[in-house]
Amino acid sequence: MWSFERQVNYYETDRMGVVHHSNYLRYLEEARYIWMEEMGLPYPEFERQGVIIPCTTAEESFLGFLRYGDVFSVHMELYRFTGLRMYFRYQVYNEMTGELCLEAETVHYTTTREDYKPTSIKRSHPQLFEKISELVSDTREQK
Alpha helices in 15-141 (DSSP H): 22-38, 43-48, 121-124, 126-133
**Is 122 in a helix, a strand, or coil?**
helix
Chain-centre distance of CA 125, in angstroms?
21
Buried/exposed 89-123: b ≥16 CB within 10 Å, e otherwise: bbbbbbeeeeeebbebbbebbbbeeeeeeebebee
Rounded to 5 degrees, φ, ψ at 117 are -85, 145
Distance between terminal CA atoms of the chain? 20
Q: Could you confirm whether 14 is annotated as catalytic?
A: yes
3-state secondary structure at position 17: coil
Q: Which of 14, 70, 115, 138 is catalytic?
A: 14
Instruction: Please list the active-site residues.
Output: 14
